[in-house]
Amino acid sequence: MLDIALANDNTARLIRHGHLQHNDWRVFAPADTVNAKPDSDAAPTPVDATAVVPADEPGWIVPLTIWIAHRDALRQRQHPVAVLLSPDSKLKDLVGEDGHVDATGLAFIAIDFPVYTDGRGYSLAQLLRTRHGWQGELRAIGDVMIDTIHYQARVGFDSFLVKPEHDPEKALAAFRTFTVHYQKTYPKPPELLAA
Amino acid sequence: MYVYDPVDQQLVEQRVAQFTDQTRRFLDGQLSDDDFRTLRLQNGLYIQRHAPMLRVAIPYGLLAARQLRTLAHIARTWDRGYGHFSTRQNIQFNWPKLEDVPTILAELAKVQMHSIQTSGNCIRNTTSDHFAGVAPDELVNPLVWCEIIRQWSTLHPEFAFLPRKFKIAVSGAEEDRAAVGVHDIGLQAVERDGVLGFRFWVGGGLGRTPMVGHLINPFVPWQHLLTYLQAALRVYNMHGRRDNKFKARIKILVKELTPDAYTQQVNEQWQLIKDGPDTLTQAYVDTIAQRFTWPDYDTSVAGEPDPTEMHAAAHPAFARWLQRNVRHHKVAGYASVSLSLKPTGVPPGDITADQMEAVADLSERYGYGEVRVSHEQNLVLADVRRSQLFALWQELRALNMATPNIGLLTNIISCPGGDFCALANAVSIPVAEAIQRRFEDLDYLFEVGELDLNISGCINACGHHHVGHIGILGVDKNGEEWYQVTLGGRQNGAAKPLPDLASTRGGGAAIGRIIGPSFAREQVPDVVERLIQTYLRLRDSDAERFIDVVDRLGIAPFKENVYSDPAVAKAAPAAREVAHA
């Protein structure tokens, strides 16, 4: 996931509002845990992964744990961060007492698909949209494929970072793979996505 | 027969286009093996021992004559002239080429068929009673409900990537012929104060960890069927285990959470959507029901002269077939006929293209152009005039489809086994044949009476051995095939009247118990023979069936009798370690 989010192959592979854009968002991971060299004999220095936050600059996606630990401060930033949910994230950690997600100072919510066959992100998205009142941007990142974004659009995602091996133009066309659907409470991909 | 409307048709055609593109990308190297695997499985395509295997959906086992003709055409053109009916009412082709599959799917779409979700970790073909709509003991015709579930579950955006496969069965009759107790979700129609609803069983299943389902709700009113299903699936999608594929079925989640805790979570999710837009309306149910073509029965048939008894008196073979393969119909003057796909020497469930076409013709001449597929891997002509039974029998005999063994020992349910399947530890078809040969004497077979014998070539249990009165499981030890025998399994609780809900746990299904160390392949017919001899000696009367005796006396006397056989004992030491493998 991290590699993909950071990949810079000069291809516009972020689908947003029906267009392909270059992705300029990356996932923040505390340096010590990320940069420990796999071939190094030295054990990585144990650090509290939630102790640090990224600099106040554009384009940071922070894991839910960091958001929880610093959300009051993060909401005040000049450059709002996005929050990243993993498949096993608990939505109750994100929502307020009223059961809704407070959108103040939050750029968007990203849900990670570590492998496309892990379908938990679909239920998370659906619950954010239908139960927790999230009306802001909801982004699918990770193992996001030509073959998955149609389903993802129907459960409420509205931006998609297509993984490197997949042609983003074909992904954009995939919103129209099906023009008919059976499940009436899951909308068809909004027209604007396929614009 | 359900008839597609333009939306149904368009959806299937768009799925063909999607899969055609996916296959082309794979063949062009634009889609990796890993990425393609799940995508092709979700369209019923396995890569097997010899070639790809394509599993085509037969929703709730209902086939039109023209569909059967298309299956025959596919078998001839892209396969080797035959197909195999699975234990979940689908058909499998064992020899297609990957590059031909998109063309095959396009052919299927022309007759309103597809292979959507016949494999993969998604909601599979909803199965039902093969006598749905014609059984005298029916409370409601489950086919309409199956179709509602089929549509709801087809390409469901939230539940396309579940932790593991998910199978739903629906029964609308008093006797559960859909085995609701051994499905991920089993629905059994019931009536309360004049309102239709469903008993909702969750967490049954066979495979590596066989379990009988839990009744999590004794009455889900019909209006709430889809919202309740959605809640049940959502809890599973979010919390089912994904770290270990052998613990990923919903039965493990229900067990680990406890049925009560699972039910509570389902109810929490349900409250969010209950009475919402997915609530079913009478108008919608009527719309679906009206898209079916239902037989237009001729009430004057009841008064027709019926020569059946006369023929039976003159032809003992016909009398036997009547006894075993013909059932009462809800409409007087009609009967339902099972076509046995279990003659000795033919792999259970296999059917040739010629037979398919012949059956399609028979279904038009003797019925309404409809054929059912049973989970016992036989076919059913559901609406035959009694006065025509003798003529039909003669035609079926010529097709080798009149073996009078429905419900008897040689009506063996079996997976394709190691001859075809890459997963299998052992062959199953040759074992089935060896048993059939041993019990070829029809007098003896009838004397033994009702008995379900199931064979699976591996622990995935596609032959449903756990619910066979006698179950046989192929196991592997150091590259050798061995066979484990279980007794006392059953797919429903028809054995005795069930006084209350508690005792109908899982619809009365039961998982068979292992009798002891495994056997070599050549011993299996002897072992079955010993089990049968034990039964014949111990039964009260010929009204007490094999399974009834196992229920009454347990497996001990059977076990004792099998392992006291010197021939078995000789092989047993080698087998002993296998049993614990």
The pLDDT of residue B494: 44
* Residue ranges of B 399-428 with Cβ closer than 8 A to chain A: none
**Contact residues on chain A for B158, CB-CB shorter than 8 A:** 119, 122-123, 126, 155, 186
Closest CA to B79 of B90, B91, B62, B89: B91
Q: Which residues contact A27 (CB under 8 A, 6 or more apart)?
A: A1, A2, A5, A6, A61, A62, A63, A84, A141
Instruction: Name the token pair of B17.
Output: 């286009």
For B157, the closest of A118, A130, A183 (CB atoms) is: A183
**Contact residues on chain A for B7, CB-CB shorter than 8 A:** 180, 182
Q: How far apart are CA B517 and CA B37, in angstroms?
A: 37
Mean residue pLDDT across chain B: 92
Q: What are the structural domain ranges in chain A?
A: 2-28+53-194
Can you point out the beta strands (E) in B243-363? 326-328, 334-339, 350-352
pLDDT at B528 over 90: yes
Closest CA to A174 of A142, A140, A148: A148
pLDDT band at B491 (very low <50, low <70, confident <90, very high): confident
**What domains, with CATH codes, occur in chain B?**
6-110 (3.90.480.20), 127-288 (3.30.413.10), 299-398 (3.90.480.20), 413-579 (3.30.413.10)
Between the CA of residue B273 and those of B89, B290, B386, B404, what are the distances in Å?
32, 27, 49, 50
DSSP letter, residue A120: H
Q: How far apart are CA B146 and CA B354, in angstroms?
A: 30
To which residue do tokens 């010529």 refer? Answer: B398
The pLDDT of residue B60: 96
**Contact residues on chain A for B19, CB-CB shorter than 8 A:** none
- In tens, the pLDDT along B43-95 reads 999 986 667 899 999 999 999 999 999 999 999 999 999 999 998 899 999 88
User: How many Cβ atoms are within 10 Å of A37's Cβ, its own excluded?
Assistant: 8
Q: Which residues pair with A191 in a beta bridge?
A: none
ipTM score here? 0.91
Nearest residue in chain A measured CA to CA from B121: A117
Q: How far apart are CA A118 and CA B16, in angstroms?
A: 24
Q: Which residues contact B278 (CB under 8 A, 6 or more apart)?
A: A184, A185, B226, B227, B230
Between the CA of residue B474 and those of A189, B350, B510, B531, what are the distances in Å?
47, 20, 20, 18
For B234, the closest of A123, A165, A185 (CB atoms) is: A123
CATH architecture of residue range(s) A2-28+53-194: Alpha-Beta Barrel (3.20)
The pLDDT of residue B120: 95
The pLDDT of residue A78: 97
The vertex-B482 CA angle with B481 and B484, nearest 5°, equals: 145
CA distance B31 to chain A (A): 8
Low-confidence spans in chain A with pLDDT less than 50:
1-7, 32-38, 40, 195
- In tens, the pLDDT along A18-51 reads 899 999 999 998 764 444 444 545 555 555 666 7
CA distance B501 to chain A (A): 33
The pLDDT of residue B330: 95
Can you point out the beta strands (E) in B409-566? 413-414, 453-456, 470-477, 480-487, 513-514
- In tens, the pLDDT along B133-149 reads 999 999 999 999 999 99
Q: How far apart are CA B180 and CA B172, in angstroms?
A: 11
Total residue length of chain A: 195
Count Cβ atoms within 10 A of the Cβ of residue B192 and give its class: 0-12 exposed, 13-18 middle, 19 or more buried. exposed
pLDDT at B374 over 50: yes
pLDDT band at B464 (very low <50, low <70, confident <90, very high): very high
H helices of B216-305, in order, are 225-239, 250-257, 259-273, 282-290
Q: Determine, for residues A123 and B276 on separate chains, whether the beta-carbon distance falls below 8 Å.
A: no
- In tens, the pLDDT along B425-443 reads 899 999 999 999 999 999 9
DSSP, collapsed to helix, strand or coil, labels residue B577 as helix
- Sign of torsion, CA B230 A101 A118 A8? positive
Q: Determine, for residues A116 and B38 on separate chains, whether the beta-carbon distance falls below 8 Å.
A: yes
CA R_g for chain B: 23
Between the CA of residue B284 and those of B55, B225, B293, B498, what are the distances in Å?
30, 13, 17, 34
pLDDT band at B509 (very low <50, low <70, confident <90, very high): confident
